[in-house]
Structure 1
Amino acid sequence: MTTFDPASVPRTADLDNPLYYLENMETVVRWVLDHHGDLLTGSEFRLLETFLGLETEEKALLTRLVMRTGELFRADKLVYPELDSPVSEILHRLVSADWLEPEPLLDLDQLFRLFTLAELRPAFADTLQELGHSRTLPKATMKTVLSDHFSEARTLDQWFDTGEAWVVCLRHMALFDRIRLMFFGNLRQTWSDFVLVELGYQSYEQVPFTAESRAFSHREEVDCYLAMQACRDQLDEGVPAFEVWSQVPGPVTNAWLASRRDRLLLELGRQAERQGDRELALTVWARSQHREARLKQLRLLERMKRHEEAWGIASHWQSEEMSDAERQGLDRILKRVAPKVGEPRPAPITTLPINEWQISLPRPAVGSVEWAAAEHLHRPEAPVAYVENTLINGLFGLLCWSAIFKPVPGAFFHPFHTGPADLTREDFVERRRPDFEACFATLGDGGYQQRILDTWHGKQGLANPFVIWPALSQDLIELALECIPAEHLEAMFRRLLLNVKEHRSGFPDLIQFHPQRPDDEPRYEMVEVKGPGDRLQDHQRRWLDFFAREGIPASVCYVRWDEDSGVGSRE
């Protein structure tokens, strides 16, 4: 495995440089040419080299347009004071170099996005009058009225005389999207991510880059991702699900892309059901391996009264390994469907009783019910912290930092990862099993406390999917490590890893520490707070049941407002 030259790892530009955005773009282009060149066609490769060879002002203006939304721009509205030459002159040079289309065809929607109502009214006044409408219609109404009359796209001068106005269209935008995808491994991250890093909003762990670290190994994988993104965009735009279904790429062997395809099929099934195409929803969900897809398939079969079919799928699934949420959902379906098919109801999943109690508090003028409960319960000898999901996740992230950021192939492929790309995949833990076990071993030998504190100091501020830095003060961590036994931490950490996506949430709101108690008594308690009318969610119940089974002190505090009293009481 060959490691990339550390000197080639991308860095963000200094924002004191007025052309910082161009420097960042050149960084991405060079990185892609150097490390993803085999995934580009010859013409794409040459085009990117041509980009790098443009004059600085041409590259800068082109980059500005690439980083904006859309591909159509009014030349008369482009103002960039960091450029010495008039923008119009630079645009003409880019047109000559074939980077811009000078007379793009515009449909009515595009025209109305580019021009103001004051500009459009004179142009269409006569047409509106001929169609029997007022010349002063609102913009949206005017577009609706004209949509049937103007169905074909035209160049700007064919629409109307715009004077000095001029519209240009970016050529090769698809190529810039492609290199952004190859660099980031997704299209969610944008060019502005560089700026966020430079401004100090986010700092990232630096993971060694290898040839195997790339998001994509073959051009076909890039094409597959882009095709799936196009499908997702169409779903977001309301395109009928059956039209999108025909465009979904077939099954793929790349595990990372397969998981993304499974998520696309999950959403496609949702859209199909909402649009009344139940058969398509069933077909799509049956082909998705997403955790939620099979439950959705079963619930829809149940609503369609196809109980025998639902029972067959559910019964077969019952023998397979599944998460707590899947087990709970499947159990509920089996209970409902069993009588419909003449089968005995399955034995209920046994749960232990939840420790519940109630307090009456005066309604606070400001703040949440959780803060009110925390303030009431807090005592100097028994401090309370409002931590929700941040504390246990944070301690896990600090203890297992090295395992989380292990340079596993396909997990890290650029310097701006908040966490590994395979974090929520089923094989996330298995690919790092020895590393997690080595971290957990420190819980048994006593080295975990110093390890967590050293990581807290050494990695301060670096992005980690489990660590919310503002919520983790050194005092809180030291108190937690003093009061929470190592065996309790290990039990929670191991459950967390059973389903990272699901189990990162559902922890109780508060934790109360009792540092002065002897070691043979519980020195902490986690407390879930519920205000009037609120109730426990399923994922919270599953954590509470787990706590009861493991002997981890946890309870539910129900708060009711005592409007007449200024003193809270526990009942």
Structure 2
Amino acid sequence: MSHQTLIPASLENPLYYLENMDLLVGWVADHHQDLLNQREQARLAEFAALNTGPRALLTRMVMRTGELFRADKLRYPELPETEREALAVLRRDGWLDDDPELTLAEVFRLFTLAELRPMFGPWLQQQGLSKTLGKAQMREQLAEAFPEARPLRSWLGETDMAGTGAVVRLREMPLFDRLRLMFFGNLRQSWTDFVLVELGVQQFEPVPFTPESRAFRQRAEVDTYLLMHHCREQLDEGVPAAEVWPQVPPAPDNAWLASRWNRLLLELGRQAERQGDRELALQVWSASGHREARLKQLRLLERMKRFEQAWALACEWQTGDLSDAEAQGLARLLKRLAPKVGEPKPELPEVPAIRSFTLTLPKPAGGTVELAALSHLGTDDAPVFYVENTLINALFGLLCWPVIFQPLPGAFFHPFHIGPADLTREDFVRRRREAFEQRFALLANGHYRQEILKAFRLKHGIANPFVVWPVLDEALLELALDCIPPHHLRALFRRLLNNIREHRSGFTDLIRLVPNALDTDARYEMIEVKGPGDRLQDHQVRWLQFFAREGMPASVCYVRWQDGEAVE
């Protein structure tokens, strides 16, 4: 199945969700058939062979929360047949268990208080309890007496509830979860993220899907992901970290799975520390390759007064490639540890001064402080634009378009990605370093300008995680390329890649472009605007310090309001 044949359904079709589900199932069957066993392949063929009504109803049930449903509450008027007829087919073909055993908690989730009172009223009366207890109080009283699951008819007893339909349980949710995982590459996204959206309103970059670019190379890797997901679910439910840790699978040799494994260990360590199991937290964080785990490990060693061990690890880590936030945190830690281990305090790197100026303006009746400053600062010869995090990111995204959409394993799972799934993972840049260097070479040979503008024209409107199309126009791009020297762009792009998650934000609010300035390094100025009472955030400070170190023109504009009435 090629990218071009995947045409999402229109929301004008009342069964659009079924069309999208069929598309998803077909995609997985085409691209991951070797990762499905014979039974799973047979079930998918049987799903595809169902008539429209049963297939649509099954899709609706798969999309909903949980696996239990009351037949009398399933109402979907768009079906070409009655819900009763569709349910009969699904029962017959083994998609549903029509006599599941229900726990007390499940009964209380499925039925209203008015329906529960006739079921349990006689028992409550026998115990000398009021029949009019609220739902929570009633369940609390019943919990000890009714610990076992049982069929619905057993719960109903002699109750006259003729209007109550059967309860059915979906039988194939593990299969549909496996499909969802292989399509999305995660289990965080729900069916509604795909099935209930009109994907046709968005344009996506075509990425070739080959056996070599697949994230899952073998069925065991899918099983490993599912096991890791189960471990994370247990942590979220409050299961002690010490019970979850033995269930964690060994570190996978699949790069993108290893990244998720590292994140699982990061969270497991957090839970262990919160639960007072510090030794386990240290063990887990030591095993995790997640960049946040290192600083957490060091801080915990410090709190445990293991200063020598913390110092040794910190000195070793200091030689690595750190983001600004990591370097800042590590420097503070080393400063605290030094006197405790008899070492001289390390000299902190000199913090460059951040330029600033103050504007006193009449307070406008409406609009933001940024727009007030823009209006005051802009001139015909030096226009000012409100760009915040959009302009530099867009220039990077357009120049590096071929690298961002490189079909590497674990990057793209289906044809509807806004960007690569591994964008903010630790190895995103490492896996593409040579390709990025080739694009950055264009900044040195002067070809970057035509490549950026060509991408803007050819790719306009196509989703890219760095490009916000509605705020971008070609005139602004051309003016920015006239004014920002390429060696400054190279430095900006390299810092962006140092930690994409952290460094995609924190850019200045405004940029002033001065195309006729004699000094080519002074043809632009980045300006962060702060109104009365507002202060710089940490990630903004780090960008401003970077600008100062690199000799890039940037400053903070502190706006103060004049006394008197607001002006229109």
Do the two structures share a fold, i.e. TM-score over 0.5?
yes
CA shift at 1:565, angstroms? 6.9
- Aligned to 2:325, what secondary structure does the other structure show? helix
1:149-188 CA-to-partner distances (Å, cap 9, x unmatched) read 3322222222224423221110010101101111222223
Q: Which moved more, 1:394-403 or 1:353-362?
A: 353-362
1:106-154 CA-to-partner distances (Å, cap 9, x unmatched) read 2222222222222223333344445555433333343334333332222
* Contiguous gaps of at least 5 residues in structure 1: none
Candidates 64, 68, 71, aligned match of 2:64: 68
The corresponding residue for 1:382 is 382
CA shift at 1:543, angstroms? 1.8
For 1:544, the aligned partner's letter is L
The corresponding residue for 1:167 is 167
CA shift at 1:277, angstroms? 2.5
The corresponding residue for 1:79 is 75
- Residues 519 and 230 of structure 1: CA distance in aligned 2, closer, same or farther (over 3 Å): same
1:368-411 CA-to-partner distances (Å, cap 9, x unmatched) read 44344334434444333222211101111011111211223442
The corresponding residue for 1:353 is 353
For 1:148, the aligned partner's letter is E
CA shift at 1:434, angstroms? 3.8
Contact residue 98 and residue 167 of structure 2 kept, 8 A: yes
Equivalent residues, number: 564
- Residues 274 and 357 of structure 1: CA distance in aligned 2, closer, same or farther (over 3 Å): farther
The corresponding residue for 1:472 is 472
The corresponding residue for 1:92 is 88
- Aligned to 1:246, what secondary structure does the other structure show? helix
Candidates 133, 138, 144, aligned match of 2:140: 144
For 2:169, the aligned partner's letter is C
Is residue 2:112 matched to residue 1:112?
no
The corresponding residue for 2:29 is 33
User: Quick one: percent identity of the two aligned structures?
Assistant: 63
The corresponding residue for 1:447 is 447
Q: Which moved more, 1:417-426 or 1:461-470?
A: 417-426
- Aligned to 1:95, what secondary structure does the other structure show? helix
CA distance in 1, matches of 2:253, 2:180: 23
1:173-227 CA-to-partner distances (Å, cap 9, x unmatched) read 0101101111222223333344576354432111111111112001111011111
CA distance in 1, matches of 2:126, 2:46: 51
For 1:482, the aligned partner's letter is D
1:267-304 CA-to-partner distances (Å, cap 9, x unmatched) read 12222222333222222111111110010111122222
Matches within 5 A, 1:224-235: 224-235=224-235
Q: Which moved more, 1:163-172 or 1:219-228?
A: 163-172
TM-score by length of 1: 0.91
Contact residue 22 and residue 48 of structure 2 kept, 8 A: yes
CA distance in 2, matches of 1:376, 1:137: 67
- Aligned to 1:394, what secondary structure does the other structure show? helix
Matches within 5 A, 1:190-201: 190-194=190-194, 198=198, 200-201=200-201
CA distance in 2, matches of 1:137, 1:529: 58
CA distance in 1, matches of 2:187, 2:414: 13
For 1:412, the aligned partner's letter is F
For 2:138, the aligned partner's letter is M
Q: Which moved more, 1:219-228 or 1:429-438?
A: 429-438
CA distance in 1, matches of 2:66, 2:371: 45
Is residue 2:542 matched to residue 1:552?
no
Is residue 2:535 matched to residue 1:535?
yes
The corresponding residue for 1:209 is 209
Is residue 2:515 matched to residue 1:522?
no
The corresponding residue for 1:502 is 502
- Residues 299 and 434 of structure 1: CA distance in aligned 2, closer, same or farther (over 3 Å): closer
Matches within 5 A, 1:321-340: 321-340=321-340
The corresponding residue for 1:420 is 420
CA shift at 1:75, angstroms? 0.8
- Residues 252 and 350 of structure 1: CA distance in aligned 2, closer, same or farther (over 3 Å): same
Contact residue 529 and residue 558 of structure 1 kept, 8 A: yes
CA shift at 1:228, angstroms? 1.2
CA shift at 1:324, angstroms? 2.4
TM-score by length of 2: 0.92
* Contiguous gaps of at least 5 residues in structure 2: none
- Aligned to 1:525, what secondary structure does the other structure show? strand
CA distance in 1, matches of 2:361, 2:73: 58
- Aligned to 1:82, what secondary structure does the other structure show? coil
- Residues 136 and 515 of structure 1: CA distance in aligned 2, closer, same or farther (over 3 Å): farther
Contact residue 12 and residue 195 of structure 1 kept, 8 A: no
CA shift at 1:524, angstroms? 1.7
Q: Which moved more, 1:144-153 or 1:332-341?
A: 144-153
Candidates 43, 50, 53, aligned match of 1:57: 53
Q: Which moved more, 1:403-412 or 1:528-537?
A: 528-537
CA distance in 2, matches of 1:455, 1:395: 10
For 1:310, the aligned partner's letter is A
The corresponding residue for 1:406 is 406
CA distance in 2, matches of 1:255, 1:346: 36
- Residues 135 and 395 of structure 1: CA distance in aligned 2, closer, same or farther (over 3 Å): same
Contact residue 208 and residue 407 of structure 1 kept, 8 A: yes
1:60-100 CA-to-partner distances (Å, cap 9, x unmatched) read 21122112221111111111222232211221221121110
- Aligned to 1:25, what secondary structure does the other structure show? helix
Is residue 2:119 matched to residue 1:123?
yes
Contact residue 12 and residue 194 of structure 1 kept, 8 A: no
The corresponding residue for 2:239 is 239
CA shift at 1:491, angstroms? 1.5
CA distance in 1, matches of 2:520, 2:199: 49
1:478-527 CA-to-partner distances (Å, cap 9, x unmatched) read 33223222221121112212222222122122222234433546222112
